[in-house]
Amino acid sequence: MTETSDVAAPKARVLFVDDEPRVLTTMRMLFRANYQVFTAEGGPQALELLKTQPIDVIVSDQRMPGMTGIEMLRVARELNPNAMRILLTGYSDLSAIIGSINEGEIFRFVSKPWANEELTTTVARAVAAARASEAAAAAGDAPAPVGPPPGVLVLDDDPTVPSKIQDILGGDFRVVGATTMDEAVGLMERERIGVVISETRVQSSPVIGLIGTLKQHHPELVSVILTDRADAGTAIELINQGQIYRFITKPIHDSQCKITVSSALRHHHRLAQSPELHQRYEVAAPPPTASAPAGKLMDRIRGLRTVVKRWV
C-alpha cells in the first residue's frame, strides 16, 4: 500500500493487487512514471484501499489465497463502479472466467507472463476510459428510454433458439433470428437492434470477428454469448476483442435469460445516451491470425453506422 507519486498534476490512480510482492515491485517500477501507483498484497487489503481512495483502474491477479481476483473485483465493482477492471491470469478455469465476465464486468484479461508493452497499452486504454466516463457518471443517470425498445437479434445455427427466446421474453421484446452472419448483418440493416445474442460459432466459423467489428463501429450494440461450447480461451478472446456483455451457457434458463436480456437492453440504452461511456467497452485489435469476417461483410457493418445513428 504505497503511494509512489507526489506530482502536482492529477495523475491517474492505478491499483495493483498480487500476492507475490515481487510482481508489485515490478509494477511500481513499470508504471510509476505515468500513474499514481497503489499496491495491495491481497483482496481484503485492496478493498480497504478502495474505500478511501478514488481508484481509476484495478489490475488484479486471479489466484490469491483467501480471496480470488474475481471475488475481489466483484466487490470492487460495487464499491467503485467507475474503476476499470483488468484481470491478470496465469491459468484459470472456465467457471472463474465466466464468473468474472458476468459479475465483474472485466475490461481485459491479461495472461501471465505479460509483455510490458501490452500491459501498459491496456492500462492506458483503461485509464482513458475511466477518465472519459467519470464525467458521464457525474452527469447522473440517463433519462428513461422512450418509444418501443430496440430489437434483440439472435444468431444461432439452431433455428429454434430465437423462438425459444421470444417465448421466454414475452411480448415486451421483439426477437429476430438469423442462422448466418450475412443474414444477421442484413437484419441489422433493416431493423433497429440493441442486443445481439450469439453462439460462439455459426456455420462452423467463429463469430468473434463479427462481434468485435460490431463493437468497434457500433459501441452502443450490446452482445451476449449464449453457447453450449464454453471454453476459457474463447471467453477471454470474446472479452478482449469483443467486449461481450454477458456469457451464458446452454441450456437456456428462463429467468437467467430474461434478466440478462433486460439488463443488456438497459445497458444498450445507457451506451446510446452517453457516448463518453463507449471507451469503457473499447475492444482490443484482434491478432493478425484471428479470422475476421470477409471484407464485404465488414464494409456492410461499417455502413450500419448511419442507420443506427438515425434511430438513436
Residues lying near other proteins in the complex (CB under 8 A): 20, 22-23, 25-26, 29-30, 61, 63, 65-66, 88, 90-91, 111-116, 119
- How far lies 19's CA from each of 38, 236, 256, in Å? 14, 23, 34
Closest to other proteins by CB, 61 or 220: 61
Closest to other proteins by CB, 112 or 253: 112
Note the helical H segments in the chain.
21-31, 43-52, 69-79, 94-99, 116-138, 161-169, 181-190, 208-217, 232-242, 254-273, 295-311
Full 3-state SS string of 224-256: EEEECCCCHHHHHHHHHHHCCCEEEECCCCHHH
* Closest approach of other proteins to the CB of residue 244, in Å: 25
d(CA 30, CA 116): 8
* Closest approach of other proteins to the CB of residue 230, in Å: 13
* Closest approach of other proteins to the CB of residue 259, in Å: 27
Closest to other proteins by CB, 24 or 154: 24
* Closest approach of other proteins to the CB of residue 30, in Å: 6
Closest to other proteins by CB, 24 or 175: 24
Angle between helices 295-311 and 181-190 (to 10 degrees): 30
d(CA 161, CA 154): 8
* Cell 470474446, residue located: 238
* Closest approach of other proteins to the CB of residue 114, in Å: 6
Closest to other proteins by CB, 38 or 245: 38
